[in-house]
Structure 1
Amino acid sequence: MYISTARPMPCLILGLFHTPLLESLPEKVRTFLAETIPFPKRLGDPDEYAHLVQSIVENPLLNGEVIRLDGALRMVS
């Protein structure tokens, strides 16, 4: 599926997800990181991210928004 007209795409702000980089960390560190996420207390699953992206692309009414997918985790820059 391709977007046939230009539209302001949403910006995604991600929290902590299961990735090869995180998998390379010791289990103790991964557990600590997961416990810092308010709800649910776990790392995100890549399928959850993919589902959100698919929904954004398929819904033409959603545009120009900032969407957080972070389990209510607010990381300080």
Structure 2
Amino acid sequence: MLIVKARGTMVTFTPKKVAKIAGVSTRPAHLSVVRYILENLREKGLVELWKKTFHGYRYAITSESPLWQEVKKRYGKE
């Protein structure tokens, strides 16, 4: 959803935004699970940690990411 509607070459998001799109509760316990999954994707090089502040974590996916390319290929964009 984020990548398909992207107008540029990078999308940024928080674990809370991912949870809302996925229809998961945004309670702290659930957000920690979403962040755990995002950290696993980061270790595999599919997403990047864009910013870490006292507000929380913000992740990014760029057009060079294999995840970006797979989504664009699957949904026929680009």
Q: Which has the higher contact order (CA 8 A, sep 6+)?
A: 1
Report if TM-score (shorter chain) is over 0.5: no
TM-score (norm 1): 0.27
TM-score (norm 2): 0.27
Greater share of residues in strand: 2
Give the greater-gyration-radius structure (CA): 1
Greater share of residues in helix: 2
